[in-house]
Amino acid sequence: MGFFSKIKEGLKKTRNSIADSVTGVINSFTKIDEDLFEELEEILIMSDIGVNTSTQICDILRKKIKETGVTDPALIKNMLKEIIAEILGEDEGLNLETKPSVILVIGVNGVGKTTSIGKISAQLKAEGKKVVLGAADTFRAAAIDQLGIWAQRAGVTMVKSVEGTDPASVVFDTIASARAQKADVIICDTAGRLHNKKNLMDELAKINRVISRELPDSSVETLLVLDAATGQNAVNQAKEFKNVTDITGIVLTKLDGTAKGGIIIPIKNELGIPVKFVGVGEGIDDLQPFNAEEFVDGIFETEENI
């Protein structure tokens, strides 16, 4: 199953939330007026696109309708698709230009962080890259064990230490191992103690210092993993993490199990962080590189077209 098929299926609940509601509103109006805009805005807000971004989308829609002279409500859906596609912008893949490159993965416990690392590892290995994992979430022994299972499943090597070890020292050892193996990509797990931001900030800063010192010219991605099912709370998590570290991309998991996929839009619009992967299933190949155009198509496809 290709990306478009997976994203269509994975967005079924989000599509039911957004497209069906938008279609219902459009079909209930014979002309474009302020009542129509108010109902559309309410639908977008209720679809986890958030107040600020929903208001902005409707303001842009008003402007486009005024500029084009459109009077038929049936034409609004395609205009909404265009506006959302413009907000999401160009797709941004992983920046892995150096050998080795580094991917630092952050996120709170339970969002699918370790699973995402395993799936990204499997994809990179399938592309012919040598990958080394670093189990730098030393706060929980279970995290180390779980990452080890995924390393085996993906067929990549992993560097670990015992619970309670300084995470930055694990990253240092992982870099040394990757150099010895002439690895292409280093992926490091981290602890997600957002409730203790001071510790998290200090920990991530120390890890970044080690990476900068040992691999000063390397490409570094910092990916924040978010659970789509948490809706606006995921946007809030992104804001909190952005306050403590630079984030280069989002991995949005569990998209297939929720109607809250609309949160992709405010994450990009309000935080300026691109979504780089979306999870659309449980399989090892179900973490897909994000494609904005197909995401928008997947939201607005009507059931009879699927």
* pLDDT at residue 306, rounded to an integer: 41
The DSSP secondary-structure symbol of 45 reads I
Where would I find the beta strands (DSSP E) of the chain? 101-106, 131-136, 157-159, 185-190, 220-227, 249-253, 275-279, 287-289
The letter for the amino acid at 180 is A
Domains in the chain and their CATH numbers?
3-91 (1.20.120.140), 101-290 (3.40.50.300)
pLDDT tens, residue by residue, 97-116: 999 999 999 998 889 999 99
pLDDT score of 11: 73
Residues of the chain with pLDDT under 50: 1, 303-306
- Contact in structure between 131 and 184 (CB atoms under 8 Å): yes
DSSP codes, 59-107? HHHHHHHHHHT---GGGHHHHHHHHHHHHH-S-------SSSEEEEEE-
Q: 3-state DSSP helix/strand/coil percent for the chain, to nearest 5?
A: 60, 15, 30
Is residue 149 within 8 A of residue 175, CB to CB? The reply is: no
The kind and range of the H/E element at 304 are none
The residue behind tokens 């300026």 is 272
